[in-house]
Amino acid sequence: MRMHSVLRTSTKLLMPPIMLFGLYVQFHGDYGPGGGFQAGVIFAVAFILFALIFGPDRARAVAPSWVTTPLCAAGVLLYAGVGLVTMALGGEYLNYNVLAADPHDGQHLGILLVELGVGLTVWAVMVSIFLAFVERGRVETTAPDPESGDAPRD
């Protein structure tokens, strides 16, 4: 892809608006269509586009596996943790009313945190799955294990 300057330039131009739109969808889900799931997917699309054009190595430099793999679980834990906090504050599991003095503020905060958890998990899982596909293809095709003697046939 080193020669495709149009693709490279347009990717660089497109990535910031895509990520900004992902954040907009994430935090504007209360008021318009969207939410954590769609936002996570859109945010992941920016990374996948980057990986397609600039290669998985540079994508892994931006989203290394020690970031994406724990974040897969962190989103679910954040979601479940909000439920535990509401229980500790005396409400039912995932009853956001008790999170703030005013039930409306509590609901708002709870929905924000829960959607953030969904977005984190979806983003991390999508990026991980895509990079797992790409990296497996590279290992199998370009770097055969010399010990196994199973060089690629032609």
Q: Does residue 76 touch another protein according to CB under 8 A?
A: yes
For position 59 contacting another protein by CB under 8 A, the verdict is no
Give the 3-state DSSP-derived string for the chain, with helices as H, strands as E and coil as C: CCCCHHHHHHHHHHHHHHHHHHHHHHHCCCCCCCCHHHHHHHHHHHHHHHHHHHCHHHHHHHCCHHHHHHHHHHHHHHHHHHHHHHHHCCCCCCCHHHHCCCHHHHHHHHHHHHHHHHHHHHHHHHHHHHHHHHHHHHHHHHCCCCCCCCCCCC
Asked if 55 touches another protein (CB under 8 A), the answer is no
Question: Is position 121 an interface residue for another protein (rule: CB under 8 A)?
Answer: yes
CB of 27 to another protein, least distance (A): 11
Site residues, another protein (CB under 8 A): 25, 29-35, 37-38, 41-42, 44-45, 48, 52, 69, 72-73, 75-76, 79-80, 83, 93-94, 96, 103-104, 107-108, 110-111, 114-115, 117-118, 121-122, 124-126, 128-130, 132-142, 145, 148, 150, 152-154
